Structure 1
Amino acid sequence: MRNSRQTAATGSRRPRAEQRKGRAKARAAGRPSAADEHAAHRRQLLRQMLLIRRFEERCVELYSAATIRGFVHLYIGEEAVAVGVGQALDSGDAMVSTYREHGHALARGMPADAVMAEMYGKATGSSRGRGGSMHLFDLERRFYGGNAIVGGGLPLAAGLALASRMRGEERVTCCFFGDGAFAEGEFHETANLAALWGLPLLLVCENNLYAMGTALTREHAQTDLAMRAASYGMPAWAVDGMDVLAVEDSARRAVASIRSGNGPHFLEARTYRFRAHSMYDPDRYRSKEEIEQWKTRDPLTGLAGRLQAEGQLDDRALERLERDVAEEVDRAVRAAESAPEEPVENLMRFVTSAGEGVS
């Protein structure tokens, strides 16, 4: 198997002189060079991860002030997985998420103001304020939401993939879940049927080493989850989930193979959440030293450092990215604060399929 880090960084291996020559030729032709496009793409990956991080950091502030309530599960530290996988998916593909879903939703292209309004429980939220943090949904972007049940999204994803195959559509369904869900019956049933029926399904296990407060080694006798997934007869491999370029490369290879009719694929993204399981969690099951050690592999600073080292990002450009993201988050908060509550008379809407206004 090719080294995904090397594959993702192909452009950086070209001699600087050759890159400059390519840029000059492209400028003369009035178009961006391949090297310029490559650098712009990497900067966009960084921006997406920054948006997820700053959005969630603001959510921490708002939750602590009791401005937003309910359950909140943060994705901080895992941004490279959602952003990297998202690059491999087309607009017609489907995405199924977990209750730790803000990053997936934003990476899928859901507007930050719709996500923030949902956090506030406002009518302009992606689920009209009825779902909150764990139940984001966007039919237009084929984002089939979060799921409060561990592993609950897996059978739904298999159904979406089966529907695509029966309709003759060249669509892929991507399903995110954690290492805790790997121990649930839903995973094994879904993996078996997906392989048996050759479904166009990408299973992405975000292995952050803890199922709530239970360490991977206390839950699984065999901790190589990719190897276990391969036993169902599907291609499966692990990828460094703290490296967005490696994740993107692995996801693109998997999705291309699925589109070619090779059935389901499994990616084990080995990652880590820097925050507790939820805002209610005292986080006493792991040491501060362990957390700090993982923070040295922060996906944001890792990519920013690579871009700076390769001359694709300077301090001013990074400051512009941070400022642009901060303004987007500020706009989302202002929009959520000024958005209306759903009227009480709409309480029974969307409760049953026959309800008025259901589409």
Structure 2
Amino acid sequence: MLDYQTLNLTRQDLADMYRTMRLIRRFEETAVDYFKQGIVIGNMHMYVGEEAVATGVCKALTREDYIASSHRCDGHLIAKGADINAMMAELMGKENGCCGGRAGKMHQTAPEVGFMSANGIVGASQTLGAGHALYCSLFAPERIAVSFFGDGGGNQGGFHESMNLAAVWKLPVVFVCENNHYAISTRVDTSTALSSFYQRAAGYGIPGVRVNGNDALEVYAAAKEAVDRARRGEGPSLIECDTYRYRGHHEGDEQTYRTREEVEAVRKQNDCIQRMLKVLTEDFGWTEEEDQALIQSVEQQIAGAVEFGLQGAPMKVEDMEKNLFAE
């Protein structure tokens, strides 16, 4: 049982984390609805089920800290404080999107909140995260960097290169493996000799820990320790978050590699939103009235984001090459 006082978490802190997870989920569920209508364009790789990881990690960060993300970036963006209006507009390919409608789902950025990069290259966030941390060590010692990547990314060569160099140079970076057990359709235990990624940290002489990635408080506790360590100049850490995605690798994925029963069992037994709601209710006296008010507030915020996106002007094809080169 986590000690909230030791973590310096208040009732309001937990309510904020709970709201963040609900906001992430409703944003993505809504985006999928508009994707099916052809209004949200491009590919859709969903974060539904993994919300506790982004929420717990980003709770330990400041607005100025840097993030390198992956193709499932919505959760990281929202947890870091990005503008969901601009995010929804971006998914709709609008000029008022966070990248002018050019980035789509997998390549969004929000540098105003330290979100430097999302990308569709598996494992690329590891080297980018180490690069952000190198910048911090040279020019912004008050900041640290976080690299989010999946279990598939853990088997890329960049994993070793980034981890090793970060350890050698004691870079202020936290590597976060979001182990959702499937790299597209490949189960982690069929593709990885050592299926616990956190144990690899020992080979680089850095701390490694595995946590329940569906428990935002457990994620936060591990992230806080790793972030504090990085700020003290003691180098990188590796956190493996054992989590699970409810939807396919992408929208339209037939998911022949797993059963509906498997997905529903995880959703029923270990859903991150329900876990936090239980803590709030049982330990902090969270009421049904408070819950409904929060849910309604989230719905209003999502509705505003949709309206912002729908009202935006479509990106002009003739402007697609803008920002490719410095002027």
TM-score per shorter chain, which class?
Answer: over 0.9
- Specify which of 260, 272, 289 is matched with residue 299 of structure 1: 272
Q: Please list the CA deviations of residues 18-37 of structure 1 after superposition, one character each: whole Å capped at 9, or x if unmatched.
A: xxxxxxxxxxxxxxxx9xx7
Give the unaligned 5+ runs of structure 2: none
State the SS of the aligned residue for 1:206: strand
How do 1:207-286 residues align onto structure 2 when only pairs under 5 Å count?
207-286=179-258
Query: How far is the alpha carbon of 1:344 from its aligned partner?
Result: 4.5
Shift of 1:7: 3.3
Aligned pair 1:61/2:33, yes or no?
Answer: yes
Contact 1:45 1:83 in 2 (8 A): yes
CA contact (8 A) 1:39 1:312 kept: no
Does the alignment pair 1:353 with 2:326? yes
- Tell me which structure has the larger Cα radius of gyration: 1
Question: Does 2:133 align with 1:161?
Answer: yes
**Alpha-carbon distance between aligned partners in 2 of 1:312 and 1:231, rounded to the nearest angstrom:** 45
Aligned to 1:121: 93
CA contact (8 A) 2:124 2:158 kept: yes
Bigger mean CA offset, 58-67 vs 327-336: 58-67
Q: Please name the residue that 2:302 is paired with.
A: 329
Distance in 2, Cα, partners of 1:344 & 1:149: 24
Q: Tell me what 1:6 maps to.
A: 2
1:145 partnered with 2:117: yes
Q: CA deviation at 1:184?
A: 0.2
CA contact under 8 A between 2:109 and 2:115: conserved in structure 1? yes
TM (norm. structure 1) is: 0.88
Structure 1 counterpart of 2:62, which letter? Answer: D
Q: Secondary structure at the match of 1:286?
A: coil
Evaluate the alpha carbon distance shift between residue 168 and residue 322 of structure 1 in structure 2; reply closer, same or farther with a 3 A threshold: closer
2:316 is aligned with 1:320: no
* 1:73 Cα deviation after fit: 0.7
How far apart, CA to CA, are the structure 1 residues paired with 2:102 and 2:176? 27
Contact residue 213 and residue 283 of structure 1 kept, 8 A: yes
Structure 1 position 44 matched with structure 2 position 16? yes
- In the alignment, which residue of structure 2 is the partner of 1:100? 72
Letter in 1 for 2:288: D
Residue by residue over 1:316-350, the C-alpha shift from the partner in whole angstroms, topping out at 9 and shown as x without a partner, is 10000100000000000001000112344534321
RMSD: 1.5
Aligned to 1:238, the other structure's residue is in SS state strand
Contact 1:93 1:173 in 2 (8 A): yes
User: Paired residues, what number?
Assistant: 326
* Range 306-315 or range 330-339, more displaced: 306-315
Q: Do residues 194 (structure 1) and 166 (structure 2) align?
A: yes
Structure-1 residue corresponding to 2:44: 72
The 1:168–1:77 alpha-carbon spacing in structure 2 relative to 1, beyond 3 Å, is: closer
Assess if the C-alpha contact under 8 Å between 1:8 and 1:249 holds in 2: no
Percent of aligned pairs sharing the same letter: 37
- In 2: Cα distance, 1:168 partner to 1:351 partner: 27
TM superposition score normalised by structure 2: 0.96
| Cα deviations by residue, 1:151-198 (Å, 9 ceiling, x for unpaired) | 112111111111111225221100100000000001111001000111
Q: Confirm or deny that 1:339 pairs with 2:312.
A: yes
Q: Contact (CA 8 Å) 1:235, 1:265: kept in 2 or not?
A: yes
Change (3 A) 1:341 1:320: same
Q: In 2, Cα distance between the equivalents of 1:96 and 1:267?
A: 15
- State the AA in 1 paired with 2:295: E
Q: Which amino acid aligns with 1:46?
A: Y
Q: Is the 8 A contact 1:78 1:273 kept in 2?
A: yes
Separation in structure 1 between the aligned mates of residue 32 and residue 248 of structure 2, nearest angstrom:
12
Using the alignment, how far apart are the partners of 2:315 and 2:168 within structure 1?
Answer: 45
Superposed CA offset, 1:43-84 (max 9, x none)? 111000000011111012111112112111111100000000
Shift, 1:108, TM fit: 0.6
C-alpha distance in 1 between matches for 2:149 and 2:184: 13
Cα distance in 2 between the residues matched to 1:312 and 1:135: 40
Contact 1:241 1:247 in 2 (8 A): yes
Task: Find the aligned partners of 1:343 and 1:183 in 2 and give their Cα distance.
Answer: 39
